Amino acid sequence: MSRENRERYDFKQIEPKWQQIWAEQQLYTVPDLSDKPKYYCLEMFPYPSGKLHMGHVRNYSIGDVVARFKTMQGYHVLHPMGWDAFGLPAENAAIKHGNIHPADWTYQNIATMRAQLKQLGISYDWQREIATCHPAYYKWTQWLFLQLYKHGLAYKKKAAVNWCPSCATVLANEQVKEGACERCKTAVEKRELEQWFFAITRYADRLLQDLELLTGWPEKVKIMQENWIGRSEGAEVSFAVEGREEKITVFTTRPDTLYGVTYMVLAPEHPLVEKLIEGNPRAEEIRQFIRQVRSLSEIARTATDTEKIGYPTGAYCINPLSGERVPVLVANYVLLEYGTGAVMGVPAHDQRDFEFARKYNLPIKVVIQPPGQQLDPDSMDCAYADEGVMVNSGPFSGLPNRQGLLAVIRHLEEQGLGRGVVNYRLRDWLISRQRYWGAPIPIIYCDRCGVVPVPEGDLPVLLPYEVQFKPTGQSPLADCPEFVHTTCPQCGAPARRETDTMDTFMCSSWYYFRYVTPRLEEACWDKEKVAHWLPVDQYIGGVEHAILHLLYSRFFTKFLYDIGLVQTTEPFTNLLTQGMVLKDGAKMSKSKGNVVSPEEIVDTYGADTARLFILFAAPPERDLEWSDQGVEGCARFLNRVWRLVTALAGELPAPGTAPAAQLAGINRQMHRITHQTIKKVTEDIGHRFNFNTAVSAIMEMVNALYQYKEAPACDRDPGVLRSAVDSLLLLLAPFAPHITEELWQLTGHSGSIHRQPWPAWDEAAVQEDEVTIVVQLNGKIRDRLLVPAGLSAGQLQETVLAQEKVQKLLAGKQVLKVIAVPGKLVNIVVK
């Protein structure tokens, strides 16, 4: 090897070389079944937006370290990749440019991003690649829709939706920020549309209860899901409307405060509002207010700092317990989607109600008194929401309110005035999208037969290629007669297809099952093989998907379990949510102009450097601040490894040469450092995912090897040297797969380093011969001593007290007590 080649790692020649060899040897192609224990490692698949960004590189580098590590530990590892390929950006590109079809745009981007992933050396089994926009995939998305429909979990109803007039599509609540579309910043409108829903609320209790099973998930993610589901126990109570047959039903978690209701508030969308304001002189003003409110997002309406505005309808309802007349208002903070769209106002015991009542001069009635106090409604400056004794509550007065709460529910049920119920914040999943680039909903409408599901044998319902993309707010499918017009599969009469497509969350809610048998044509997956591989052992992705994607995936898995298609009730055993990649303190984005291109980094420094930096710079769960100096430092480190190993390669003994049975001096020290590093890196990857500290330990081992190399060759044990160099390469291999593969061959090995067993440490070799302990006098550090490792407390005390320096410190002092902590410190208490 030339001097230049020994001095520098030529990544531009070496990395493509090994990528080609791995592909030719199909090194990462995984057989379906094996006698080895299985391990399914999965990163959330990307949307093919054009090119990878550094967030992608971080996600996939983390997953690749785990997959390579587990493979070397002897597991049968499934590590696939695919594309979440349907979605709005592709269609918007078609509308904007007019000369590129969403399918063409998507497949071009997939080709680009696939090439980038291969350039990074990620160990994916590319024979399992899927794209959710391919008919062979969305055929089964449609099939799963039909299973949900067959079991009564897919249904259609009219609903108010967030509508972006610019993107011309329905938006989820999470896509509306401060009343505007998250993507284009256009003000969002409310529209009434016939929409398809999945009844996820039927699974609410199981989704909530089974969070306890997810011991491998971050606690913050489980809390986010728990809050999103939002289970609450209480009562549904009916208030008769004065002079009308209708009743207003409310849900309350505080039926113990029913006697304190002094007003009723309806959501602007409540169907009774228009009837109640008839004849009201301010009716047109109220209608204008309702139009304004309906254009706001849920978040804007319910935010704590949003001013609460209400209008009296002029109507009254009757408190079913007290018989009192209660004014009915309409207000901006009540939502039709939550509860019943009506809220009873109890201003004495709810702070929001208290502020609203003070603003509009509504009565305040105390029905819960705190122990030993007497609240005066006229002098209260805030609501009292804690526990106490019921007062002014008819037959329930004098009861502790927790006891009274249950008594009130029993009374309501006995009198037919209400019932105890469990309510949820979770709403059914709206899946309809008025767009082209999504999986068509497999439903046909027949004037004779009504709603007819497409027969399973007729799937997939294909997206037509020849369509016109217009910013009209209507799916291009609706303007495609060849798609719309069909025949009814039941009666043969002319019929029309559903022109809505499915929410892309539908595609990503089951993709991890399809990877198991991605080319299977006769079924969604092979049940036996899915039973072998699922659940996913380690799932990795951004915390921004902590609620919807993960919740929908859990719902799908439970449904599939219920109908006998899978044998697991949870899809992901362990979850790692990595932080964002920042630059100059902000998330990388094109709009901020702070984007660092992965292609640029790989071209300048190589894939191994890009991977190593992204793993070394911060623990995976924390945000990572980009640093050009950090990247350069990782490049320098890899070149240090290259120089070290190429310099030692000529004097290494044959592979497998063991260290001498008895080691001393520098050989014993190098042997110990090798095994300490193996232990540290193994535990950091396998138990803690502390990739940054694992890399740091490898760097320290390289420093130790450089020192060892400086010793005369005749003083170095050949087996220690061989073990140290081999262990270094094996430990570094998951992080920097190309350079280690090349050096593995240069040091006399055959076969890929990535198919070698992970090194094991010898616990006896790990133990230090000597340890540094602290000497304290009355708790203050006075000295540090190097003492033999393994001394007992008594031996440690005896050794320290015998030291000349310690005896000088104790001269003229009375020793009251000696506290010895083996391996750490000795504290001498004197006076």
Nearest-angstrom CA–CA distance, 678 and 761: 6
Contacts (Cβ under 8 Å, ≥6 apart) of 105: 90, 93, 94
Contacts (Cβ under 8 Å, ≥6 apart) of 634: 605, 609, 612, 613, 616
Contact 229, 406 (CB under 8 A): no
Contact 151, 563 (CB under 8 A): yes
Contact 46, 60 (CB under 8 A): no
CA proximity to 598, closest of 261, 201, 121: 121
CA proximity to 499, closest of 489, 484, 481: 484
Nearest-angstrom CA–CA distance, 94 and 475: 13
Q: Give residue for tokens 């508030």.
A: 265
Nearest-angstrom CA–CA distance, 491 and 214: 48
Contact 774, 681 (CB under 8 A): no
Nearest-angstrom CA–CA distance, 688 and 693: 10
| Tens of pLDDT, residues 668-689 | 999 999 999 999 999 999 998 9
- How far, in Å, are 10, 59, 624 from residue 628 at the CA level? 20, 20, 13
Give, to the nearest 10 degrees, the angle between helix 691-710 and helix 607-616. Answer: 110
For residue 588, the model assigns a pLDDT of 85
Instruction: State the 10-residue block means of pLDDT for the chain, 831 residues long.
Output: 71 98 97 95 95 94 98 98 93 80 95 97 98 98 98 92 77 71 80 91 97 96 94 96 95 97 96 93 93 75 82 96 97 85 97 96 97 92 96 97 97 96 92 93 97 98 91 81 97 97 97 98 97 98 89 98 98 95 84 84 97 96 94 97 96 95 94 97 95 98 97 94 98 98 97 98 89 92 88 91 90 92 93 86
**Alpha carbons within 13 A on the beta-carbon side of 608:** 30
Contacts (Cβ under 8 Å, ≥6 apart) of 201: 424, 426, 427, 428
For residue 294, the model assigns a pLDDT of 79
Nearest-angstrom CA–CA distance, 43 and 40: 10
Contacts (Cβ under 8 Å, ≥6 apart) of 103: 90, 133, 437, 463, 465
Token pair, residue 415, equals 């009198």
- How far, in Å, are 180, 302, 473, 474 from residue 90 at the CA level? 21, 33, 16, 16
The 3-state DSSP composition of the chain as helix, strand, coil percent (nearest 5) reads 40, 20, 40
Contacts (Cβ under 8 Å, ≥6 apart) of 646: 1, 5, 6, 743, 746
Own/partner contacts of 90-97, CB < 8 Å, gap of 24 or more, are 90/437, 91/435, 91/436, 91/437, 91/469, 92/167, 94/437, 94/469, 95/469, 95/470, 95/471
Nearest-angstrom CA–CA distance, 582 and 588: 6
CA proximity to 738, closest of 36, 118, 93: 118
Q: Give residue for tokens 């005066």.
A: 376
Exposed, middle or buried: residue 514 (CB in 10 Å: 0-12, 13-18, 19+)? buried
Q: Give residue for tokens 């254009």.
A: 295
| Tens of pLDDT, residues 607-660 | 999 999 999 999 999 999 999 999 999 999 999 999 999 999 999 999 999 999
Token pair, residue 580, equals 């964002």
